[in-house]
Amino acid sequence: SPEVKLAVFGKAGVGKSALVVRFLTRRFIWEYDPTLESTYRHQANIDDEVVTMEILDTAGQEDIQQKEGHMRWGDGFIVVYDITDRGSFEEVAPLRTLLEEVKKPKNVPLVLVGNKSDLDHVRQVPTEEGERLAAEMACAFYECSACADEGGAVAEAFHELCREVRRR
The residues, ordered by sequence, that sit 6+ positions from 10 with a Cβ below 8 Å of its Cβ are: 16, 60, 79, 80, 81, 82, 88, 91, 92, 95, 113
Could you give the string, one character per residue 102-141, with x where binding to ligand GDP holds by CB under 6 A and - elsewhere? -------------xx-xx----------------------
In whole angstroms, the minimum distance from the beta carbon of 63 to Mg ion comes to 17
| Site residue total, Mg ion (CB under 5 A) | 2
Question: How many whole angstroms separate alpha carbon 100 and alpha carbon 112?
Answer: 15
Residue number of the CB closest to ligand GDP reads: 15
Segment interacting with Mg ion, rule: CB under 5 A, options 10-18, 85-93, 105-113, 144-152: 10-18
Of the residues 1, 25, 30, 122, which one makes contact with ligand GDP according to CB under 6 A = 30
Q: Could you please report the per-residue DSSP string of 130-154?
A: HHHHHHHTT-EEEE--SSS--TTHH
Residue closer to ligand GDP (CB basis): 33 or 48: 33
Q: What are phi and psi of 82, to 5 degrees?
A: -110, 120
- Asked if residue 32 binds ligand GDP (CB under 6 A), the reply is yes
Question: How many whole angstroms separate alpha carbon 54 and alpha carbon 29?
Answer: 20
In whole angstroms, the minimum distance from the beta carbon of 120 to ligand GDP comes to 10
* Cα Rg, the chain, nearest whole Å: 15
In whole angstroms, the minimum distance from the beta carbon of 12 to Mg ion comes to 7
Of the residues 4, 7, 14, 78, which one makes contact with ligand GDP according to CB under 6 A = 14
Apex 145 CA angle, 14 and 12, nearest 5: 10
Segment interacting with ligand GDP, rule: CB under 6 A, options 10-18, 41-49, 90-98, 128-136: 10-18
Q: Counting Cβ atoms within 10 Å, is residue 53 exposed (0-12), middle (13-18) or buried (19+)?
A: buried
Q: Binding residues for ligand GDP, per CB under 6 A?
A: 10, 12-18, 30, 32, 34, 60, 115-116, 118-119, 145-147
